[in-house]
Structure 1
Amino acid sequence: MGVRRAGRRRWLRWTAGLGALALVTGVLAVLVWNGVVWPNRFLVGGYEVRGVDVSSYQGEIDWPVLAAQDLDFAFLKATEGSSHVDERFAANWDGARSTDLVVGAYHFLSFESPGERQAAHVVSQVPADAGTLPPVVDVEYYGEFLTDPPSRDELRGILDPLLADLEAHYGAPPIIYTTQELRSSYLGDDYDRYPLWIRSVALTPDLPRERWEFWQYSDRDHLDGYVGEEEHIDMNVFDGSLGDLDALTLP
């Protein structure tokens, strides 16, 4: 009987321990999902220059309020493919430019239209204003391409003329935004002449710091100054000083 009682006590302790672990794990998962806890926030303390990227999902933005929260730059979604324009781009461009933020626009690359047509679309929407950052080309999987991605040659066949035409118009190499997986699989070192904006929201980038300029370290932050269907906002740092950031802008 004593042996059975001891075994039952061990089983109860083990069950209680598992229950406590599950509770802690569940609470932590909720805190991470809601952006209350985010590991990368502890890893970006050494970076002095930080900023946001936004789209119509953040809705109407009060740019003076947003900019006053220790921000230095902002990337705004402008275009996608060869015809789509973000509905908030014009308002965001004017609003962000009215602050002290260094402002840039980004284009979401489509795998379904030629790079030349996409470049012409960007040029038609994004001003080549002095003091703004070169346009960004956002290269990532989407939709059906998440499971059936294009080949390396297909992607480069769209990306290369897009980058070339944008550089010719804006007079500076465009910035490439991408994930670590896609850079490794599709781009490699062949595009190192273009400033790199790397997405790595779980851990630090697995590339040396000298290989990237911008790091998107969180997609679960909360700031004041916007009201949209997306309550979170993406946070980024720049690996350099404000002077270095200004040196990237268009003349």
Structure 2
Amino acid sequence: MAALRPLNTAFASLERILGVRLVLALAIAGALAAPAGAATHANGVDVSHYQGLINWAQVAGSSYRFTFAKASEGVTLVDATYPVNRAGAEGMGLRFGAYHFGRPSGTGPATITASAIAQADHFIGIAQPQAGELPPVLDLEATGGLSPTNLAMWTSAWMDEVKARTGVSSFIYASPNFWKDKLSNTAAFALGGYRLWVAHWTSGTSPLVPASNWGGLGWTFWQWTDCAKVPGFLNCVDGDRYAGPDPGPLAIGTYATGPPATSVPPTIVGSAKVGTVLSAVPGTWGGGKPVSFTCQWEQCDAAGANCVPISSATGETYKAAAADSGHALVAVVSASSTGGTAVAASPPTLAVGSGGSGSVTRPVATTAPSIVGTVVAGQQLTASVGTWTGSPTSFAYQWQRCDASGTSCAAIPGAVSSGYTLTPGDIGATLSLVVTATGGGGSQAATALATGLVAAAAVPAPVPGSLAAVAGQAGAVSTADSRATVTWQPGAVPDGATVTLVPGERAPALKGTGVVLGVSGATILPWPVDIAFAAAPPAGSVIGYSTDGVVWRPA
């Protein structure tokens, strides 16, 4: 991108020289145009303050359909032309998106992560991505001296923070050579579903695409030249192309509403040693978007219990002090959206030890966690933690209830042990599991693949009169005259409670039905039971249990 040319590699500079020569040759021939095949792709431009004043009406009138504008750089720089370009482009009907020029930095996992999160937060504060706009873009052209492994860590932390706050997966802008040389041609981001805006200046019909054709996904946007002649610009501008006739389907959808809800808990990066910087990662949240995060660090006993807030420790990072020695630390994250605020805490660190030169690494899952068991109501599922590097010493669990596709998940309150018994509320859903491993280098979460759809337990033949509920089993009771039958799924009736169903209209009865239902020792049930009648009950009858959990309504 224009603002970053001084940082381009020698190869990229050579590409630029060749691109300019090509433009000159085409101009001499009187045929300055996009490369062959442009008719099948939407044309666009990317801009920053380097372009100066832009006549967006002329740009739109020349069949350009989208633009990306620079919003921010590093942790402090703001492109002053961003709001002007945004208003001008959108006012003329162009699809608009924002990009951040990354300035990676850091000396270890905690400071690398903190740098990425701070820059992502800075970008969101300036860009403020809106529904209907194109997804955010991370422009990678600088390494900050980071190794490929650490640069990938920085990139992942930036992308994760933007997604946590907006629910939107960002794009990555990079040249093929940069990706190959500076990120070891990793395909991890492609496999994670992040799409590529490739910068390859060529007159060919297609660009070079790194990471094995970006994991088979190919390019989504292509910056094919740094010197397109476009009406509305005083000088040439970066020319781009979308891999299709209209980038509209990529636009950010309507943001979710409601209060935030955690799905992957916060974690801590760094070694719990006196004088060492720790960084809090806010985790993943459902519910209302966009969301903002604040953090309160807490000091706990060595086992991670009895935690109290640490005065003035409210930043993304925290340097363990001498007073923390022998204590575990916890990061409590508050997530706020227009729909409300929710709070979640990280697993505790190990007890803070004395400083030292020993190197420890944050746990990383090399084999993902998995779920073992039969997905039928009443059956127990068991967590397999997978395999991890970083020598984790403890694991925390959070079971999730997901939609049928297994992609939209929410934490199940209280489901935090290694086993989980499926309830009637899980029927028709899928289940997932987040395992958080904690070791000397901090904590990290990994998510198991979702199960198949949870099925209802088979209901046995009804027993006349009464039946005691058995753990893990469905049940059925009929009246002696077979006028009605009540059935329930495992967990809807307390284990061992006796269910009775007899003819009558006495209280407490199901109004107008001619039957009396009883559950010993219970007046409120967590899930409804079902009552079927041999003949249609009278109009106005109260049948079954209401959704507010009340077992019956008195006659």
| TM-score bin (small chain) | 0.7 to 0.9
Query: So what's the TM-score if we normalise by structure 2?
Result: 0.36
Q: Does 1:233 align with 2:222?
A: no
Q: 2:179 aligns with which of 178, 183, 186?
A: 183
Matches within 5 A, 1:1-251: 31-32=21-22, 34=24, 36-37=26-27, 41-112=34-105, 114-141=115-142, 149-185=145-181, 186=183, 187-192=185-190, 193-202=193-202, 203=204, 204-207=206-209, 208=213, 210-227=217-234, 231-242=235-246, 245-251=247-253
Specify every segment of 5 or more residues in structure 1 that has no aligned partner in the other structure, as ranges: 1-27
Distance in 1, matches of 2:99 and 2:244, equals 21
Secondary structure (helix, strand or coil) at the match of 2:40 reads: coil
Give 1:120 shift.
Answer: 0.7
Give yes or no for contact 2:46–2:237 (8 Å, CA) kept in 1: yes
Give yes or no for contact 1:74–1:103 (8 Å, CA) kept in 2: yes
Residue-by-residue CA offset, 1:76-107 (whole Å, 9 max, x unaligned):
01100111011211111111111111100000
Specify every segment of 5 or more residues in structure 2 that has no aligned partner in the other structure, as ranges: 1-17, 107-114, 254-555
Residue-by-residue CA offset, 1:181-227 (whole Å, 9 max, x unaligned):
12223152111111100011024322348421011101111122134
CA-based RMSD:
2.5
Secondary structure (helix, strand or coil) at the match of 2:186 reads: helix
Distance in 2, matches of 1:215 and 1:40, equals 15
Give yes or no for contact 2:68–2:97 (8 Å, CA) kept in 1: yes
Give yes or no for contact 1:106–1:138 (8 Å, CA) kept in 2: yes
Distance in 2, matches of 1:173 and 1:223, equals 30
Give 1:241 shift.
Answer: 3.0
Give yes or no for contact 2:26–2:32 (8 Å, CA) kept in 1: no
Structure exhibiting the larger radius of gyration computed from Cα positions: 2
Residue-by-residue CA offset, 1:6-39 (whole Å, 9 max, x unaligned):
xxxxxxxxxxxxxxxxxxxxxx997536584599
Q: CA, structure 1 residues 109+40, in 2 after alignment: closer, same or farther (shift >3 Å)?
A: farther
Greater strand fraction, Structure 1 or Structure 2: 2
Distance in 2, matches of 1:222 and 1:59, equals 15
Distance in 2, matches of 1:119 and 1:239, equals 27
Secondary structure (helix, strand or coil) at the match of 1:163 reads: helix
Distance in 2, matches of 1:35 and 1:86, equals 33
Greater helix fraction, Structure 1 or Structure 2: 1
Give yes or no for contact 1:129–1:250 (8 Å, CA) kept in 2: yes
Distance in 2, matches of 1:68 and 1:97, equals 13
Give yes or no for contact 2:103–2:142 (8 Å, CA) kept in 1: no
RCO comparison, higher one (Cα < 8 Å, 6+) = 1
How many equivalent residue pairs? Answer: 214
Task: State the one-letter code of the partner of 1:51.
Answer: G
Secondary structure (helix, strand or coil) at the match of 2:222 reads: strand
Alignment partner, residue 443 of structure 2: none
Task: State the one-letter code of the partner of 1:115.
Answer: A
Distance in 2, matches of 1:176 and 1:135, equals 9
Distance in 2, matches of 1:181 and 1:30, equals 19
Query: So what's the TM-score if we normalise by structure 1?
Result: 0.77
Secondary structure (helix, strand or coil) at the match of 1:250 reads: coil
Q: CA, structure 1 residues 215+103, in 2 after alignment: closer, same or farther (shift >3 Å)?
A: same
Distance in 2, matches of 1:103 and 1:179, equals 22
Distance in 2, matches of 1:120 and 1:156, equals 18
Task: State the one-letter code of the partner of 1:195.
Answer: R
Distance in 2, matches of 1:42 and 1:66, equals 19
Q: CA, structure 1 residues 35+191, in 2 after alignment: closer, same or farther (shift >3 Å)?
A: farther
Secondary structure (helix, strand or coil) at the match of 1:87 reads: coil
Give yes or no for contact 1:170–1:250 (8 Å, CA) kept in 2: no
Give yes or no for contact 1:47–1:237 (8 Å, CA) kept in 2: no
Give 1:126 shift.
Answer: 0.9
Give 1:170 shift.
Answer: 2.3
Distance in 2, matches of 1:93 and 1:172, equals 19
Give yes or no for contact 1:115–1:158 (8 Å, CA) kept in 2: yes
Q: CA, structure 1 residues 116+241, in 2 after alignment: closer, same or farther (shift >3 Å)?
A: same
Residue-by-residue CA offset, 1:121-174 (whole Å, 9 max, x unaligned):
0111112211101110001137xx6xxx53112212321111001112222110
Give yes or no for contact 2:71–2:98 (8 Å, CA) kept in 1: yes
Distance in 2, matches of 1:225 and 1:196, equals 27
